[in-house]
Structure 1
Amino acid sequence: MIANTFAFFLALFSSLCAAVPSLEVQGSDFVNPKDGTRFQIVGVAYQPGGSSDYNPGNDPLSNGTTCLRDAALMQRLGVNAIRVYNLDPTINHDLCASIFNAVGIYLLLDVNSPLQGESINRAAPWESYNAVYVNRIFEVVEAFKGYPNTLLFFAGNEVINEQSDSSVPSYMRAVTRDLKNYIAKHSNRTIPVGYSAADVRPLLLDTWNYLQCSLTGDATDPSRVDVFALNSYSWCGDSSFQTSGYDVLVSDFANTSVPVFFSEYGCIQPYPRVFTEVPALYGPLVTPVLSGGIVYEYTQEVSNYGLVTLNDDGSAYLVGDFDTFQKQLNTLSITTLQDTTAQNTTVVPPTCNDSLITTTGTFSKNFTIPAVPSEVQDLLDNGISNPNNGKLVALTVLDVTQTVKSSSGVSITGLKITPLADDESNTPSGQTQPSPSATSSAPAAATTTKKSGAAGLVRNWAGLMAAVAGVMGWLVC
């Protein structure tokens, strides 16, 4: 009887090991294909050490011990996504990707890096767009396409920054086309490809219109982006919907044919931040148009935007902004965030034409996309050589071993990740950090819940089995 019970629950728990469903882009919404609900990004930028600290052989998703600590803190914080800017596609990311998957956190990944030849040079894009560069970005696809929590790839970040960059937009469409065609041929699922723009007027709207329009008149054009994001720091301090210009953004993007969201936000002036934009960003005036955002940033760097200070010995100390951001997230309606049926799934993209470019500057009105070089076509047809294909792996450790202290200096004890069931993503937990008067055992984070009845019982047993796994060392994937 005991053996049968053990086998039953082990099989049951194994069936729930994938925490997140792979999302789809339908019209201007991110959609959970399992139930048709709309997904809102509640994210944080994750690039410990900044771009200057990136070196081949080491990136933010290469150290499982570090990822376990940070995933546990992010699960408490309440985010459901991270953006990672610089990645080495030749190394193993299985453990980190599996950890973030287990706690219901999606990955938004830039395919470029600051190293020579690993991004499009806006000064001469025709020189940097070559087979060596394209092979590199295809390596990123191969490394991360196997993880269900890979949400999207960014083909570029603030590459189109000047009106004089007249030839850059067409090359961004070429990179987008190549990425999407490679994914279509060499991945078993569609993974969206997008662009992250600087919030610079009037360049922003021209960039959005240029990249979202269709050369074929429908959504099948592979050179149009699947998503469009902007790095916006317009809401500073205790601002308002009108003062910050959020009202203008909502109006400008009201007819978007792709999901639009903030790929960075979190103005640093005045400091400390109050994050009053959070309830606005996820409130009724913004959510009908925008799909959430990524706060900048997780780690404290010299720019002072961090939520957490990380030390060389592996210890971590929460910054006051962590508490403030968490408190704002705790005010949000989970139903509004994740349980609303997607409404904008059949939006038709505009057909590319000169009238979409509205400024009087030199922004390109040329929608002729650079042809695919023969060497790149070979990569598209046959795939890259020796791809490093990532896959989810079993987790045998759930507990964080490093010292972690709250912003008040109190040690956070019992910190661990809590694996979620297969239809759940992470959501704000409602908890706060320990006060100076006591230490704290980390309670389980709240999650989206889409099951009831017997299925709800399965979810509860999954939570119990996760707890047992932490004690017994059973495998949790």
Structure 2
Amino acid sequence: MIPSYRGILTALCAFVTTVWAVHPVVVQGKDFIDSVTKQRFQIIGVDYQPGGSSAFNDSSDPLSDKASCLRDAALMQRLGVNTIRVYNLAPDANHDDCASIFNAAGIYMILDVNSPLPNGSLDRTAPWESYNPTYLERVFRVVEAFKNYPNTLAFFAGNEVINEDSVEQVPAYIRAVQRDLKDYIAKHVSRSIPVGYSAADVRDILMDTANYLSCQIQNETSSRSDFFGLNSYSWCGDSSYTTSGYDVLTESFANASLPVFFSEYGCNKVQPRIFTEVQALYGQDMTQALSGGLVYEWTQEANGYGLIQLNDNNTVTLRVDYGNLQKQYSQLDLSQIESANATQTSVTPVKCSASLITTSGFLNTFDIPSQLPNITTLIDNGPSNANTGKLDSVSSTPVSQTVYDSNGETIQGITLNVLADDKTNSPGDNTSGNSSSSTSTATPSASSSSKKSAANTQASSTLLTAFGAILALAGSIVW
């Protein structure tokens, strides 16, 4: 009897792991690819930093507040988001609840390893001073905190460090940080996690930045970017593919050898935002060059980019921008943008050479700073007493906070829908909630995919109940 219980227990453990885990994403050529289904992965995302950098401290962050994560994951699921970007993280905080909630919702995380705190980032005016073991220990602690979550999609090694104010040597130090990050991941993580850079849309040096970070240095494998993010706000209001310069970006990155995506987009010079750029970004022309994008940003802050408003009385208002973005997402042809293309996955990087750099004053040599002995030791041994996260189980849960639509009407029935069969969240698949002023919002019973999710959740609940019973019984057995 004992082997039988062991077998059942092992099978149930395996099933529960698959139920609650999305598939890790990998880089192949210029595409992100689902590591199991081999489908192309397009980022349909939002930048997530409630309160902005001023609200961040080294003991808590946006992914350490369970109640907020549950609310926001449910609202993002309803919107159609499959990825978030989080800028500032406290590596020693507990992220298990939030990471598990976003994972259960089918939402991936792209995480910045830097912070605005002292020794938290490279100094663009003197990178040789800030590139040190104290800084890198914090970077590696972020990796430790998030490495075990399957929905950790990638790490940003830097954000807009290269710009008009940076010294010439900065690109080489970005590659040094990427090298150290990738070496650490290779030694301490059981799977590959992509590492890349988020660039400012400074057109004079944009392609030099991309070329410098994406080329392959001879006899050196790990300093190259795995992907390239671009913070672009050139499409404002009801613009067009050509007026916005999206056509130029598409042409510029058509022959890229790594995935390129908008790490920020959503100009707010015209309000409310109507997000007509979504159709261009995920249209046939751009989707061959770019892998989607992240809308800036989730919560309304002083700069006026929010999709939702967090009210003082612990209620939430979905702004007009949220509804407009949801409508644009609902028109996407996901089957077209998720199809893998062998010509894209087989692309190989070009070799680094000075001819790749066209701007005077931009670094055109590829002598990456050496890995100092104390940094090598840190990579080998890892930071001491690092906090390492783990995935927890999550159940489908209604949002407890009151949520209003943009007309001030209460939206009833918004629920976090646990995706029980390794699904990634997609626009229109996991909608919930109805308000008296908007009858167009679909309810879970209105679509077959929602019925399927409900059935899967019920099946998972039944299995977990059985799993709990067996665990209880297993506790009384001497193995």
TM-score (norm 1): 0.90
CA displacement at 1:442 relative to structure 2: 5.2
CA distance in 2, matches of 1:406, 1:64: 23
Is 1:377 equivalent to 2:371 in the alignment?
no
1:4 match: none
Matched-pair contact (CA < 8 Å) for 2:315–2:401: yes
CA distance in 1, matches of 2:79, 2:461: 20
CA distance in 2, matches of 1:445, 1:338: 24
**Which secondary structure does the structure 1 equivalent of 2:262 belong to?**
strand
2:81 match: 79
CA displacement at 1:153 relative to structure 2: 0.2
- Output the amino acid matched with 2:303: S
Matched-pair contact (CA < 8 Å) for 1:408–1:436: no
CA distance in 2, matches of 1:267, 1:43: 15
Which stretch shows the higher mean deviation, 421-430 or 377-386?
A: 421-430
CA displacement at 1:466 relative to structure 2: 6.0
CA distance in 1, matches of 2:306, 2:33: 30
Which stretch shows the higher mean deviation, 313-322 or 38-47?
A: 313-322
CA displacement at 1:93 relative to structure 2: 0.1
- Output the amino acid matched with 1:256: A
CA distance in 1, matches of 2:235, 2:44: 17
Is 1:333 equivalent to 2:333 in the alignment?
yes
Matches within 5 A, 1:290-309: 290-309=290-309
2:315 match: 315
CA distance in 1, matches of 2:127, 2:364: 17
1:63 match: 65
Structure 1 residues 273 and 468: alpha-carbon distance in aligned structure 2, compared to 1, 3 A threshold: farther
**Which secondary structure does the structure 1 equivalent of 2:291 belong to?**
strand
2:473 match: none
- For residues 368-394 of structure 1, the C-alpha deviation after alignment (integer angstroms, 9 at most, x for no partner) is 001111111111111111121111012
**Which secondary structure does the structure 1 equivalent of 2:187 belong to?**
helix
1:453 match: none
Matched-pair contact (CA < 8 Å) for 1:166–1:363: yes
CA distance in 1, matches of 2:368, 2:300: 40
2:127 match: 125
CA distance in 1, matches of 2:448, 2:109: 17
Matched-pair contact (CA < 8 Å) for 2:396–2:416: no
Matched-pair contact (CA < 8 Å) for 1:111–1:153: yes
CA distance in 1, matches of 2:316, 2:404: 6
CA distance in 2, matches of 1:394, 1:432: 21
2:458 to 459, 464, 470: 464
CA distance in 1, matches of 2:455, 2:215: 47
- Output the amino acid matched with 2:457: G
2:6 match: none
- For residues 132-155 of structure 1, the C-alpha deviation after alignment (integer angstroms, 9 at most, x for no partner) is 000000000000000000000000
Identity in percent: 54
Which stretch shows the higher mean deviation, 314-323 or 388-397?
A: 388-397
The count of residues paired between Structure 1 and Structure 2 equals 460
CA distance in 1, matches of 2:259, 2:438: 44
CA displacement at 1:204 relative to structure 2: 0.7
Matches within 5 A, 1:88-107: 88-107=90-109
- Output the amino acid matched with 1:177: R
CA distance in 2, matches of 1:79, 1:175: 30
Is 1:26 equivalent to 2:34 in the alignment?
no
Matched-pair contact (CA < 8 Å) for 2:125–2:166: no
1:222 match: 222
2:51 to 45, 49, 52: 49
- For residues 188-242 of structure 1, the C-alpha deviation after alignment (integer angstroms, 9 at most, x for no partner) is 000000000001112111000000011127xx71000000010000111111111
The structure that is helix-richer by fraction is 2
CA displacement at 1:340 relative to structure 2: 4.3
TM-score (norm 2): 0.89
Matched-pair contact (CA < 8 Å) for 1:154–1:194: yes
1:414 match: 413
CA distance in 2, matches of 1:11, 1:176: 35
Matches within 5 A, 1:23-422: 23-162=25-164, 165-216=167-218, 221-340=221-340, 343-359=343-359, 361-396=360-395, 398-422=397-421
- Output the amino acid matched with 1:373: L
Structure 1 residues 401 and 84: alpha-carbon distance in aligned structure 2, compared to 1, 3 A threshold: same
Matched-pair contact (CA < 8 Å) for 1:85–1:109: yes
CA distance in 1, matches of 2:405, 2:241: 32
CA distance in 2, matches of 1:16, 1:447: 22
CA distance in 1, matches of 2:201, 2:449: 31
CA distance in 1, matches of 2:111, 2:40: 21
- Output the amino acid matched with 1:235: W
CA distance in 1, matches of 2:442, 2:37: 34
Structure 1 segments unaligned to the other structure (5+ residues): 1-6, 450-455
1:443 match: 444
**Which secondary structure does the structure 1 equivalent of 2:344 belong to?**
coil
